[in-house]
Structure 1
C-alpha cells in the first residue's frame, strides 16, 4: 500500500465500527501503520467485545497493510498513556492521533440524569483530552531532543457542538468542548511541530442511524451514498498527512462530497461607555447590538 501517509504511524480511537473503522482502513490504504483502538462496547456501554477491533486490523493486514489492536479506555488517563506508549513501542514513533471514540445518551435536558451527562462528557471530552495530553507530551519530548516532529491531531466534533441539537445537551456540550480544546491546543502545540484540527462529520453510524435513516441509499442502488462513513475519511487522511502542515486550529464540516470550513465565535459589534454602565440603560445598547449582529444559526431540531 502507498499513498499520502506512507509509513506514518496513526492511532485511531473508536476504530472498531463506523467512522473509526473507515478512517483506519483509509489510512492503511494510504500506507500508514495503524493502531486500532476500540473497547468493543455496545451503544449503551454494555459488553466489551474484542471482535470489532480485531476484525478491522485483520482486514487491513489481509489487504497488505500493517495494523495492531489496543483496547484502552481512552477516557482513563493511564490507559490513554498506555495507548500512546504502545504505538511508539510497536512502530517506533507516533505521527497522527485521530480522536473518534464516542457514545450517546440522548435525552431532553429536563429528563437528563447525572450518569447520562457524565458518560457522554467523559468519553467524548475527557477521551479526547487524555489521549492528546500523552501524545503531546511524547511529541514535546521528541522536539526537545532535537528530533524532527511533523505530527497531527484530528479531533471529532459535531454540528451539535457548533450549533446545538435538541435532545442532545450532554453531547452538544461535550462536542463544543472539543471544538474549544482543538483551537487551544493548536495554539499551544504548534511550537513542537504539531497541528490540531477537528471535523464535524455527518455520516451514518450506530450513533446516527436513526437520525439518517430516511437518507439511506436504497438497497441495490448504484447512486452515491452521501451518508456512508467512508465519505468522511479522505479529509481525515489528508489532515493526517504531511501535506496539511500549514493548516491548524480549524474546524471542517464534511458530509458526502461536501467539505466546508466552519468559523466560530468572533468579536462582534460593540457599544462603549467611558464609565460603568447602568443596568437600566443597557437595554437600548443591547437591542442595537443584536440588530447589528448576524442572526445565529438555528439549533438542530428546533421548531
Structure 2
C-alpha cells in the first residue's frame, strides 16, 4: 500500500463516540482547531448527523463542500455496538429495548444501517465528486470487532 500525504487535505470523519453527540474529549480537541483556520493551521468543524439517515448523509456532504470547498478524504467511522439487550436479539416489536421500527418498510436493523449501509451510502457522493472533479480522493473504512 502506498502512502498518502494528508497535509492540506479536507476530510469528513464520522463518529464522535457517544450516540449522536460530541463527547467532551472530542469537544476539547475540536476547540484546539478552530475554523476558519489561522495562518494555514489545521481546522475542524463538528456537524451532527445520523449515519443511518441517507438525507443527513447528503446534507453532511453538502455542508462539507460549502465549508471547505472540497473533500479529499472520507472516513465514515461512526458505528454502534449491539449489546445483548438490543435489536437483533429482541426483534422489532417484541421488546421496548428494540430501537427498530416493527412497521418499517423495508425493515432494517439499526446496527446494519449505521455500521454497513451508511458508510456504503456515504461513499457514493464522494466517488461521484472525485470522478467528476478529477480529485484524487480516498475513502477509509474502519470497523470495530463488535461491528
Q: TM-score, length-normalised on structure 2?
A: 0.69
Mapped pair 1:119 → 2:120: no
| Cα 1:157–1:50 shift into 2, 3 Å | closer
- Residue 132 of structure 1 aligns with which residue? 123
Contact map agreement 2:79 2:143 (CA 8 A) in 1: no
Structure 1 residue ranges without an equivalent (≥5): 18-39, 42-47, 143-147, 161-167, 172-303
Larger radius of gyration: 1
Mapped pair 1:75 → 2:52: yes
Q: TM-score, length-normalised on structure 1?
A: 0.36
| Cα 1:51–1:156 shift into 2, 3 Å | closer
Mapped pair 1:13 → 2:14: yes
Contact map agreement 1:13 1:99 (CA 8 A) in 2: yes
CA-CA distance at 1:136 after TM superposition: 1.9
Greater helix share, structure number? 1
Alignment of 1:276-291 (within 5 A): none
Q: Deviations over 1:248-279 (max 9, x none)?
A: xxxxxxxxxxxxxxxxxxxxxxxxxxxxxxxx
- Structure with larger RCO (C-alpha < 8 A, sep 6+): 2
CA distance in 2 between counterparts of 1:156 and 1:89 reads 26
CA distance in 1 between counterparts of 2:21 and 2:139 reads 27
- Residue 31 of structure 2 aligns with which residue? 58
Q: Deviations over 1:166-190 (max 9, x none)?
A: xx6xx3xxxxxxxxxxxxxxxxxxx
Helix, strand or coil for the counterpart of 1:129?
helix
Q: Deviations over 1:44-65 (max 9, x none)?
A: xxxx545545433213339x52
CA-CA distance at 1:112 after TM superposition: 0.9
